[in-house]
Amino acid sequence: MDIKTIDQLLDRFEKTGVVGEGDARVKLVVNRLVRDLMIAIEDLDISPEEFWSGLNYFAEAGRNGELGLIAPGIGLEHFLDLRLDEAEARAGLKGGTPRTIEGPLYVAGAPVAQGEARLDDGQTAGEVVVMQGVVRGTDGQPVGGAKVEVWHANSLGNYSYFDPSQSAFNLRRTIVTDAQGRYKFRSVMPVGYSCPPGGATDRLLQLLGRHGHRPAHIHFFVSAPGHRKLTTQINIENDPHLWDDFAFGTREGLVPKVYTNNDRAAMQALGVDKPFYEIQFDFTLHAEQASAPATDFARPRAAA
């Protein structure tokens, strides 16, 4: 029979699947999303030209590896964080370091260091920063042997691996905390990332009357046996985009004070001839909790 209405089409679409065949979850999600899309096309009277332009937009974004940038840019990645926050609150979890988005620029396989590390390769321009702190449980006890995976941009806002001009794993390390739960690293101050100019994300943001800049930040995965994995970042205070992040990632509790150390002996010990920055930041991990959704979920990630 001829299909004459949207309701008939959706009905037929769903019924073309054989009952009991396929994947129940995929059917549920896809059928819902298709319905919502058709309704949006109707409500907004989206023209064929607009429809195909939109389809092609996503195809191009995918070819250029920008879908992982659009997701935070339209707030979806932060939305997933808010949902995890709510699930944790319902499970009675409180007091941990706030989570914030992972973003698309993590690379697995960074060199592992015990207790402390230098993240830059010695050839990387930028102002020296020393960051350190303690990983603890919500009971206040230090967590020795925790993994602190850290990655950040260089002083041009670019990340190694994605920026082939940088050395392998520049500004990326896994630091294992000592018996007192301490980690420490030396690096160079990052500058905020900006979406590739003229790329799919940047063009979309322009059309939305927005920009594609992030404030300077340093990413972390903090994990330890018996604890929930923490995905977070710290932001560098005084950045003009501190509370104007295109990815909505800035959160209270993630903006530590940045101190300037101009002590001669401290500078000499580091081998630098200028004052350097210091940041102190402790991480608090929740204990494992079966009644809250896992935070170490799978996600396709680069590896080198």
The listed partner (ligand MBD, Fe ion, none) that binds 188, CB under 5 to 8 Å by sort, is none
- The answer to whether 205 contacts ligand MBD (rule: CB under 6 A) is no
Q: Which is nearer to Fe ion, 219 or 227 (CB)?
A: 219
- The answer to whether 234 contacts ligand MBD (rule: CB under 6 A) is no
Instruction: Give the nearest residue (CB) to Fe ion.
Output: 103
Instruction: Give the nearest residue (CB) to ligand MBD.
Output: 103
Region near ligand MBD per CB under 6 A, out of 99-107, 178-186, 270-278, 296-304: 99-107
Region near ligand MBD per CB under 6 A, out of 96-104, 123-131, 251-259, 288-296: 96-104
The listed partner (ligand MBD, Fe ion, none) that binds 101, CB under 5 to 8 Å by sort, is ligand MBD
- The answer to whether 69 contacts ligand MBD (rule: CB under 6 A) is yes
- The answer to whether 103 contacts ligand MBD (rule: CB under 6 A) is yes
Query: Which pair of tokens denotes residue 33?
Result: 């999303």
On whether the CB atoms of residues 9 and 3 are closer than 8 A, the answer is yes
How far apart are CB 199 and ligand MBD at their closest, in Å?
Answer: 11
Q: Which is nearer to Fe ion, 181 or 192 (CB)?
A: 192
Among 161, 169, 193, 276, binds ligand MBD (CB under 6 A): 193
Q: Which is nearer to Fe ion, 88 or 245 (CB)?
A: 245
Q: Which is nearer to ligand MBD, 158 or 177 (CB)?
A: 158
The listed partner (ligand MBD, Fe ion, none) that binds 69, CB under 5 to 8 Å by sort, is ligand MBD
Region near ligand MBD per CB under 6 A, out of 53-61, 100-108, 171-179, 265-273: 100-108
Closest alpha carbon to 191 in 165, 162, 157: 157
Using CB under 5 A, list all residues that contact Fe ion: 103
How far apart are CB 279 and ligand MBD at their closest, in Å?
Answer: 18
How far apart are CB 222 and ligand MBD at their closest, in Å?
Answer: 16
d(CA 170, CA 245): 24
- The answer to whether 101 contacts ligand MBD (rule: CB under 6 A) is yes
Q: Which is nearer to ligand MBD, 157 or 275 (CB)?
A: 157
| DSSP per residue, the chain | ----SHHHHHHHHHHTSPTT-S-HHHHHHHHHHHHHHHHHHHHHT--HHHHHHHHHHHHHHHHTT-HHHHHHHTTHHHHHHHHHHHHHHHTT--SSPPP----S--EE-PPEEESEEE-S-S---S-EEEEEEEEEETTS-B-TT-EEEEEE--TTS--BTTBTTSPTTTTEEEEE--TTSEEEEEEE-----BPPTTSHHHHHHHHTT---B---EEEEEEE-TTB--EEEEEE-TT-TTTT--TT----TT-----EEE--HHHHHHHT-SS-EEEEE--EEEPBP-TTS--SS-----EE-
Closest alpha carbon to 171 in 115, 106, 231: 106
User: Which residues in the 120-179 window bind ligand MBD by CB under 6 A?
Assistant: none
How far apart are CB 104 and ligand MBD at their closest, in Å?
Answer: 6
| DSSP per residue, 16-39 | TSPTT-S-HHHHHHHHHHHHHHHH
Contacting residues toward ligand MBD, per CB under 6 A: 69, 72, 101, 103-105, 193, 214, 247, 249
